[in-house]
């Protein structure tokens, strides 16, 4: 179990930049795909990205949208693509119109409403799929899927020559697989886990856990649309993820305290797969 210092977190070929702390800031960027999940207040490592997947409209997740748009204009970049809950499009558009009045400048931006299970293709190998979550306002999580070609299961065991022969006869010897690589929940109660099996199978799952100990009850966590660690622990056995990365811990815990609590409360058999995303 670990918390990697600074603003980056790495697993395998996947590299993330960001910070996440409840009520203060959440933004997680993947520069290699030119995307971010939420934008906090609009940090420097977000400004050159193309795609922004916004979980919901709370300021600790979405305040940076106008700033990123303005910085893109200043640097003559193309309009950014901001994917978001449908109910957020109109209010954010109004905010941008007001800011255009204040600045006497016209901004370019694409606000794209999402629906559950909708897929957004970033390139031929990668798409992002939205899933509904349960929070105090309309909210969504997102999963990055990677597309692979693999030899058809019914051809496994055939000799290479036979496969070449089939291909010469015009047969498609490969089949397409879509692998859920990275899921990000945003803020949510735990119910979303019942809905999407691909989230439970994601290689990396960024999972909100706002309250970690008895200073808040499960009922209090739910009242604010959040998840308590005590709700997650009994469900860890359902998660097939290589890494479960806790995000959005309450600011009452330092990263060190949060890690200590996770180490004490989570059964040892899961420790290898658990990480805490940096908050500060």
Q: Which residues contact Zn ion (rule: CB under 5 A)?
A: 58, 60, 187
Is the Cβ of residue 187 or residue 231 nearer to Zn ion in the bound state?
A: 187
Tokens of 61: 């997740």
Measured CA to CA, the distance from residue 60 to residue 39 in angstroms comes to 8
Bridging pattern class, strands 25-30 and 35-39? antiparallel
Is the Cβ of residue 58 or residue 72 nearer to Zn ion in the bound state?
A: 58
Is the Cβ of residue 40 or residue 244 nearer to Zn ion in the bound state?
A: 40
Is the Cβ of residue 60 or residue 213 nearer to Zn ion in the bound state?
A: 60
Strand partners for 151: 174
Which residues, in sequence order, are CB contacts of 36 under 8 Å at separation 6+?
18, 27, 28, 29, 30, 46, 49, 51, 52, 53
Burial class (CB in 10 A: 0-12, 13-18, 19+), 172: exposed
Is the Cβ of residue 62 or residue 181 nearer to Zn ion in the bound state?
A: 62
CB of 267 to Zn ion, least distance (A): 27
Bridging pattern class, strands 25-30 and 14-21? antiparallel
Closest CA to 34 of 12, 58, 17, 56: 17
CB of 279 to Zn ion, least distance (A): 12
Contact 144, 126 (CB under 8 A): yes
Residue tagged 């359902």 (tokens): 238
Angle at 163 between CA 157 and CA 166, to 5 degrees: 130
Is the Cβ of residue 145 or residue 206 nearer to Zn ion in the bound state?
A: 206
């Amino acid at each position: 179990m670990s918390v990697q210092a600074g603003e980056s977190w790495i697993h395998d070929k996947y590299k993330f930049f960001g910070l996440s702390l409840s009520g203060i800031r959440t933004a997680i960027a993947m520069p290699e795909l030119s995307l971010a999940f939420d934008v906090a207040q609009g940090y420097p490592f977000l400004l050159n990205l193309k795609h922004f997947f916004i979980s919901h409209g709370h300021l600790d997740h979405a305040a940076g949208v106008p700033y990123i748009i303005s910085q893109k204009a200043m640097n003559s970049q193309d309009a950014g693509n901001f994917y978001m809950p449908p109910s957020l499009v109109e209010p954010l558009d109004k905010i941008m119109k007001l800011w255009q009045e204040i600045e006497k400048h016209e901004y370019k931006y694409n606000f794209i409403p999402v629906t559950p299970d909708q897929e957004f293709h970033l390139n031929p190998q990668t798409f992002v799929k939205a899933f509904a979550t349960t929070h105090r306002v309309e909210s969504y999580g997102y999963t990055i899927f990677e597309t692979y070609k693999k030899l058809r299961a019914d051809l496994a065991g055939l000799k290479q020559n036979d496969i070449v022969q089939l291909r010469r006869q015009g047969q498609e010897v490969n089949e397409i697989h879509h692998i859920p690589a990275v899921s990000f929940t945003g803020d949510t109660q735990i119910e979303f886990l019942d809905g999407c099996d691909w989230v439970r199978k994601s290689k990396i799952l960024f999972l909100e856990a706002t309250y970690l100990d008895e200073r808040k009850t499960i009922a209090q966590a739910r009242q604010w649309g959040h998840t308590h660690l005590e709700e997650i622990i009994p469900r860890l056995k359902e998660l097939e993820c290589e890494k479960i990365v806790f995000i959005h811990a309450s600011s009452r815990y330092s990263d060190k305290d949060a890690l200590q609590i996770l180490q004490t409360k989570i059964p040892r058999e899961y420790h290898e797969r658990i990480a805490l995303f940096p908050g500060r």
